[in-house]
Structure 1
Amino acid sequence: MLLSRPTWIAACAAAGSLAGAGYATAVEPHRVQVTRYRVCPRRWPAGLTMRVAVLTDFHAHPRCMGADAIADVVARTNAMAPDLTVLLGDYGSQHPGGVPFEVVADRLRFLHAPKGVYAIQGNHDWGDDPAALRRGHGPTRAERALRAAGIAVLENAAIRLDVPGPIWLAGLESEATPGRAQAPDRLDRQRSEILAHALRDVPAEGAVLLLAHEPDLFATGLDPRVALTLSGHTHGGQVRILGWSPWIPSRYGLRYAYGHIVEAQRDLIVSAGLGSHFLAGRPLRLGAPPEIVVVDLGRPDDAGTPADGLGSRSNAA
């Protein structure tokens, strides 16, 4: 059951005070982990392996995920030799003094992956751009900065990846894009229609990796061609105590809060993200450390990562 925002703030404040020595504000927000998954989706071609790095929810601010921290994340991500790197949105901070979008994009331009680096936008990339909101359409400042840095932005579109087999990468716009429905049932129908249009060129036998900042669309069942959905937005709850979080920005509460979720033989991975929202002027995380996600796609008995669907974490160096 979700709590009201005032209750969430009170719970977070209590959690921070109980953490001791400011751990939840001074330590955990800066301890970037590497979380690994091995997944073999139902539609995945036999014999094909692919490593995907997932970075999301930077909320870049000098006090948490500043420019140097982003550069370190980029270096660590490149060192894991992903075939494909994807960025799932929310690049700037909502707290005063955040790192400019242009600086964030300039650090991200050094990401390298042989099959490409692709980005989508999150709700805050719209919410933090008053000019784009007034216009009612993009490009947002974040989108312009990413494109200027040479990073491809997927907006309700799908491209075929240069790999054996019909593997496609699709990027969906955020729920916060101007003009989207507000009622949940209408929003779900609208986004399903947008996804269907984005996949119009994908053959029936194709397998799609879907990038969707908010994970809630997963509940609609999705197109059967979608092999794996990658999302962020929830920050893993940002405060997680024995698996419980006082507030999660999802209509489904804990259902899509974090990790590898399998429903009806469909796979979703939700990252806890890299940055943090602020409480009383300080970044806060407890039980949900920031993370670089690495997904190894292919047969579950391949070497290198845990068994299907099981995540493992390694601490920052």
Structure 2
Amino acid sequence: MITRRGLLKAFGGLVAAGFATSAYAVGVEPVLRLGTTIYRIRPPGWPEGQKLRIVALADVHACDPWMSVGRIRAICEHANALGGDIIVLLGDYVSDMRAVWNHVPAHAWAGALSILKAPYGVHAVIGNHDWWKDGAAQAAGGGETFSHRALRDAGIAVYANRAARIETASGAFWLGGLEDQQALHPGRKWNRTQFAGLDDLPGTLAQVTDDAPVILIAHEPDIFPSVPARVSLTLCGHTHGGQVRLFGYAPVVPSRYGNRYVYGHIVEEGRHLCVSGGLGCSGLPVRFGSPPEIMVIELG
């Protein structure tokens, strides 16, 4: 028989558990945890014996206190220690959250990222929030954002629908980087009803002039169904792994494909995609079941 006292104790336990879970989701997982997720992949089109170790960082969303300059620098020091041949940054360096003490200026977060080092360089694409937070870029309907300039001033190569051939000790590959797929807000003359992208996948791949393998970096994974088999591997961020994930399922995902590309290593029709869980937060400073991570991909 359930007594009134028993019901009150059960209710109290649920309330306490709720407070504990909330405290963890706000105060522990977003700011104190950092994981390294490693994928070892041999995709079709990647030459046998050609080895490459990629370290990928996504969705920094710089702001105090959740992602301070000091924390970004510490993450970068850890990323350097992972021994990547190349480091890629997958977009969204700025924050849109209101629950912050301060928004970190671009020169400060870019300065922290400037300590990243790898034998074959540090390469970046821009994310949707980098575009959305730049009023001048929105008004112009293109061009470049202050994030483009800050990264370039920090010595980081920025890709906006560009491909570059990179020579390594075990063979060459092409790195293609797309401009953002949701760069422009609705309501402008060029974009009345929905977000407009500035990405150009065909134009980017047209710059590939030989049969060396291709790696594509893009902020949003929604591009993946359009990526041809010519691309050995696609790397993306944006989703934060759902930011809140319960038993492997994310109730809210910023993708028209829902959980299809929310996180991890996905293979479709022989094509390979890796989606990072990212580092920072968007909307609310909450992470649960999706801790911040650095993604490492070992090819070959």
Shorter-chain TM-score range: 0.7 to 0.9
- Cross-structure match for 2:223: 217
Which moves more between the two structures, 227-236 or 56-65? 56-65
- Cross-structure match for 2:11: none
C-alpha distance in 2 between matches for 1:20 and 1:177: 35
Secondary structure (helix, strand or coil) at the match of 1:162 reads strand
- Cross-structure match for 2:298: 296
C-alpha distance in 2 between matches for 1:233 and 1:114: 26
Matched, 1:22 2:23: yes
Distance 1:56 1:21, change over 3 A: closer
- Cross-structure match for 1:252: 257
Distance 1:21 1:210, change over 3 A: closer
Larger Rg: 1 or 2? 2
- Cross-structure match for 2:92: 90
C-alpha distance in 2 between matches for 1:20 and 1:235: 19
Deviations 1:123-170 (A, max 9, x none): 000001112111222220111111111111000000001124341000
- Cross-structure match for 2:180: 174
**The one of 134, 141, 144 aligned to 2:139:** 134
Deviations 1:220-265 (A, max 9, x none): 2x22221000001000000000112111000110100000000001
C-alpha contact 2:174 2:214 (8 A) present in aligned 1? yes
- Cross-structure match for 1:271: 276
What's the offset of the Cα at 1:20? 2.8
- Cross-structure match for 1:158: 163
What's the offset of the Cα at 1:290? 0.5
C-alpha distance in 1 between matches for 2:193 and 2:119: 39
Matched, 1:39 2:41: yes
C-alpha distance in 2 between matches for 1:201 and 1:155: 12
Count of residue pairs brought into register by the alignment = 275
- Cross-structure match for 2:204: 198
In structure 2, list runs of 5 or more residues that go unmatched: 1-14, 185-189
Matched, 1:71 2:76: no
Distance 1:278 1:183, change over 3 A: closer
TM-score, scaled relative to structure 2:
0.86
What's the offset of the Cα at 1:101? 1.5
| Aligned AA (1:159) | A
C-alpha contact 1:196 1:223 (8 A) present in aligned 2? no
Deviations 1:249-283 (A, max 9, x none): 0011010000000000110000010001243xxx1
Distance 1:204 1:244, change over 3 A: same
| Aligned AA (1:245) | A
C-alpha distance in 2 between matches for 1:139 and 1:277: 22
C-alpha contact 1:166 1:205 (8 A) present in aligned 2? no
Distance 1:113 1:210, change over 3 A: same
| Aligned AA (2:56) | V
Secondary structure (helix, strand or coil) at the match of 1:124 reads helix
What's the offset of the Cα at 1:18? 5.8
C-alpha distance in 2 between matches for 1:50 and 1:197: 25
Quote the sequence identity (%). 47
- Cross-structure match for 1:287: 289
- Cross-structure match for 1:315: none
What's the offset of the Cα at 1:180? 7.2
C-alpha distance in 2 between matches for 1:90 and 1:26: 22
In structure 1, list runs of 5 or more residues that go unmatched: 1-13, 299-317
- Cross-structure match for 2:55: 53
Distance 1:100 1:272, change over 3 A: same
C-alpha contact 1:204 1:225 (8 A) present in aligned 2? no
C-alpha contact 2:162 2:207 (8 A) present in aligned 1? no
Distance 1:142 1:162, change over 3 A: same
Q: Runs of 4+ in structure 1 displaced over 3 angstroms?
A: 16-19, 178-184
| Aligned AA (1:158) | A
RMSD: 2.1
**The one of 114, 118, 131 aligned to 1:113:** 118
Secondary structure (helix, strand or coil) at the match of 1:261 reads strand
What's the offset of the Cα at 1:76? 0.3
Distance 1:100 1:32, change over 3 A: same
